[in-house]
Chains A and B, each alone.
Chain A
Amino acid sequence: MDIIKEDLVVDCSGMLCPMPVVKTSKAIKTLEVGQILKMVATDPGAPPDMEAWSRQTGHELLRSMQEAGKFVFFFRRSK
């Protein structure tokens, strides 16, 4: 799997709904269009929620994976 180089990391470990979505949305606004945000979460509800967030906002979900017991997401700011 190719390595994705992120421009910013936001750690939502330990947070439950809706904070991962809220923190991700706040963080991606600080990036330029085309830049990449990495988000780390432990909430088991994060994978379906982050997919829905991506569809609703249009920010592309480049990858969703599990790493060391955590959920890791990479988003590209689209607009």
Chain B
Amino acid sequence: MSKSDPNAPKRLALIASKGTLDWAYPPFILASAAGAMGWEVGIFFTFYGLTLLKPQLSAEVTPVGNPAMPMKMPFGSEGFQNFNWPIPQLIMSNVPGFNALATTLMKQTFENKGVASIEELRQTCLDLDVRLIGCQMTMDVFGFKREHFIKECEIGGAATFLEYASEADVQLFI
């Protein structure tokens, strides 16, 4: 819908460029909130963000690359849960499976606090008719094929996104 129509809804255009669990949240949260407010929303998934369009999501967090990330336990007393564990980088980067452990802890903490999962938020976006656009160039670079991604998404390139974003009220790169 063109913005020359005064009755057109507001539009949000997002670029999702990161594929880790922590960075998967912002685009899906903003998109579902905007969709719930009656806005038109499109998300362009590029580079590592493209993996968020796979049928099975496997996004993880990596504490090594995120020194500000609080390390919290999702069980025990409130004081125990709120304690920020000072785990040395040397351990985080050398213990096998540390990312998987941190991912499990973060998912459990989020669930305990009442945060929806990425799967739920993505489904919410689909229910709200959010346009999910996968980047063709990223597919070519990493050797992905159309069938590697959910059937609801469309595939496009920079021009596809820019045309959509040019008529958006809010554009964000995440």
Contact = CB atoms under 8 A, between A and B. Distances in A.
B124 A22 contact: yes
Interface string A18-31: 11011011100000
A18 B38 contact: no
B172 interface: no
Q: Which label, helix, strand, loop or mixed, suits the secondary structure of the A interface?
A: helix
Contacts, number: 44
Contacts of B158: none
Interface string B9-29: 010000000000000000001
A16 B115 contact: yes
Contacts of B113: 16
Contact of A22 (B33, B39, B114, B115): B33
Q: 7 shortest A-B CB distances, which residue pairs?
A: A25-B36, A18-B33, A56-B37, A14-B114, A16-B114, A21-B36, A22-B36
Interface of B: 10, 29-30, 32-33, 35-39, 113-116, 121, 124, 128
Interface of A: 14-19, 21-22, 24-26, 43, 49, 52-53, 56-57
